[in-house]
Structure 1
Amino acid sequence: MEPGEKLWGTCNLWRGASPLQTEVEALLWAMQCILRYNKLVMVFETDCSDVVRMVSNPEEWQAFAVLLEEIDRCKRRFTSFTLTHIPRTSDTKADKLA
């Protein structure tokens, strides 16, 4: 790590340029971790509806093309992959972690 660089979050992600980029990077990190444990049937949930739209229609989000391509590569390794939106008010696990 270079002097002055900071790692953020429990997964040591670099601080993203935007909250949306950070959400996408967190999903990618979670997918990679799950795949390392050879869990190939997975349901991911997020309270960020834009992330669900991005993964569903990556061609509409060219600014995130590199990250979305990596998510697609990971996604293809799952035998069953689901990403669903849950309302922020229903995301009690994230509230407890925060």
Structure 2
Amino acid sequence: MQELLKAGRREVRLESDCEQLIKLIEEEDDWPAMAPELDEIKVLSSEFIDFSIAYIPRASNVRADSLAKGGRSRVFGFPFVNGFAPSWLAAHAGQEAAI
């Protein structure tokens, strides 16, 4: 969300296959271990003109499922966080989706 804001995006619809996370965000359930992250999500989401987050089952999103499985099968020597997918991952997902 921070990267989207930095890029000037002010309207966003996020989708996740983590139903529990969506419920935590939308229903504001009390989960003390996640409180700092949920607070950050609330602050960041308020900076968007239009913000929504929705649950989408992984079975309904073949590309996300392929990316998740591909990400678990790769071993990284260092943590990597970026707003853009590496070219090898995008190419791999395209091949998986075509199968």
Pair in the same fold by TM > 0.5: yes
Pick the aligned partner of 2:4 from 20, 27, 34. Answer: 34
Determine whether 1:55 maps to 2:25: yes
* 8 Å contact from structure 2 (residues 23, 29) kept in 1: no
> Over alpha carbons, which structure has the higher Rg?
2
Instruction: Please give the TM-score of this superposition, normalised by the length of structure 1.
Output: 0.63
- Runs of 4+ aligned structure 1 residues displaced above 4 Å come to none
Identity of aligned residues (%): 31
- The one-letter code matched in structure 2 to 1:95 is D
Distance 1:57 1:63 in 2: 16
Written as runs of structure 1 = structure 2, the 5 A alignment for 1:71-90 is: 71-90=41-60
* 8 Å contact from structure 1 (residues 40, 77) kept in 2: yes
* 8 Å contact from structure 1 (residues 58, 65) kept in 2: no
List per-residue Cα deviations over 1:23-78 (Å, max 9, x = no partner). xxxxxxxx111111111111000011011011113342222111111111100000
> Aligned residue for 1:45?
15
- The one-letter code matched in structure 1 to 2:7 is Y
Instruction: Please give the TM-score of this superposition, normalised by the length of structure 2.
Output: 0.63
Distance 2:51 2:44 in 1: 10
**What number of residue pairs does the alignment pair up?**
68
Give SS of 2:14's match. strand
Whose strand proportion is higher, 1 or 2?
Answer: 1
